[in-house]
Amino acid sequence: MISGEKVWDIMVLGGGPAGLTAAIYGSRAGHSVLVLEKMILGGEITLTSQVDNYPGFPEGISGPELGELMEKQARRFGTEIELNAEIKEADLEEKPIRLETTKSTYYAKKLIISTGTVSRALEVPGEEKLKGKGISYCASCDAMFYRDKEVAVIGGGDSAVEEAVFLTRFASKVYLVHRRHQLRAVKSLQEQLFNNSKIEFLRDTVVQEIKGESRVEGLELRDREKSYHLSVQGVFVYIGRLPQSGPYKNQLETDENGFIVTDEEMRTSISGVLAAGDIRNKIFRQVSTAVGDGAIAAYTASRELQLG
C-alpha cells in the first residue's frame, strides 16, 4: 500500500480517460501524481466493446484495451495508482487537501476530480446480466454494431430522442420506449423523430424485463392495456445520468443536476481543486472531450504548483 503520509503534488480521483490523461500530463511535467480508483482503470469505456471515434485508431480499439494503454502510458511517466480505494471522507478546504479512503489517508497539494458519471439503471430483471451484451448506454459508441438490426431506446428526454434518430443511420428499426404519454425532448428533436419512418414511438410503456441468455433477445413490455414481448437485438438506456460526486459534493459548487461547475481551466469553487471529464457540467460527454479536460486540468495544476 502506498503510504498515506506523503503529500502528493497532484492527486487524481478516478482512473477513466480524464483521470489517466491528467496523470500522464502531470507526471510528464515532473510532478508526483497519485491516481485513486475505486474499481477498475479505464472508466466506462471498459464497458464498450469497440471504440471507433477516438482519433489515432483507424480500425477502432476495444474499450478495455484503450484503458489499458492509457494506464501503461501514465505509469511510464511515474504515475502511481491505488485501486479499490473508495473515498470515505474528504476535506477539500484543508491544505494540503486530505482524503480518507478505504485503503488509507492521502494528502495532496492539488486535487483533480474525474470520477465521472453512471447511467441511471432501469433496475429490471436481466439488465445487470446483459450489460455490454446488447445493453448500451452510448449510441454514438456502439451504434455501428447494430447495422440492419432492430433496437430499442428507453427514455423520453433530449438524449433519448437524439440517439434514437442517430441509431436510424445503422439499425433497420428503432423503437422508442417511454413510460409517459408525452416526450420531454425539445420540439425540434421531436419533429425529427416523428418524421423518421424507421422509428416507432411506444408511449405509456414500461420495461418489465430484458430477455436473453448470452445476448439481448428482446424486452418484456407493458402499456396501459397489455403486457407483450418485443424482439430486439439491442437496448439503449437513456433515463438520465448520475454524477459520482461522492462525499465532496456538498463542498463544491454544482449545477442543478449535481455536476461540478468549473471555469475553462477546470478550476472549481475551491482553490486547488479541479474537475475534469463527465463529472463536470458540460454539453458533450465523450472519450475525446474527457481527454481534453484532463490535459487542461493537469496543465492548470502544474502551472499553479510552479507559481507556488
| 138-169 pLDDT tens trace | 887 788 999 999 999 999 998 899 889 999 99
What was the pLDDT predicted at 193? 96
What residues have CB less than 8 Å from 123, skipping those under 6 apart? none
What's the pLDDT score for residue 1? 43
The percent of residues in the chain predicted with pLDDT above 70, rounded, is 98
Q: Which residue has the higher pLDDT, 286 or 202?
A: 202
Do residues 239 and 120 touch, judged by C-beta distance below 8 A?
yes
Average pLDDT in the 174-182 region? 97
Choose, from 52, 91, 138, 223, the residue flagged as catalytic. 138
Domain 7-118+241-307 has CATH 3.40.630.10: no
Check residue 49 and give its pLDDT: 64
Q: What are residue 173's phi and psi, to 5 degrees? A: -155, 135
Q: pLDDT tens, 105-139?
A: 999 999 999 999 888 889 999 999 999 899 998 88
Q: Which of 141, 204, 278, 293 is catalytic?
A: 141
C-alpha 131/C-alpha 149 separation (Å) is 18
Asked if 7-118+241-307 and 121-237 have one fold, the answer is yes
Please state, rounded to an integer, the average pLDDT across all residues of the chain: 92
**223 flagged as catalytic:** no
| Span 23-53, pLDDT tens digits | 999 999 999 999 999 888 888 777 666 777 8
Does the pLDDT value for residue 295 go beyond 90? Answer: yes
Identify the bridge partners of residue 139 per DSSP, sorted by sequence position.
none
Residue of 2 and 144 predicted with greater confidence: 144
pTM here is 0.73
Sign of CA dihedral 254, 273, 2, 74: positive
Of the listed 9, 91, 142, 293, which one is catalytic? 142
Check: CB of residue 226 under 8 Å from CB of residue 247. Answer: no
CA 33 from centre of chain: 22
Task: Verify whether residue 138 is a known catalytic residue.
Answer: yes
Sequence spans of domains, the chain: 7-118+241-307, 121-237
pLDDT tens string 132-145: 899 998 887 788 99
| Known catalytic residue at 255 | no
Full 3-state SS string of 174-227: EEEECCCCCCCCCHHHHHHHHCCCCEEEECCCEEEEEECCCCCCEEEEECCCCE
- pLDDT in the model for residue 5: 77
Rounded-to-integer distance, Cα 114 and Cα 278, Å: 7
CATH architecture of 121-237: 3-Layer(bba) Sandwich (3.50)
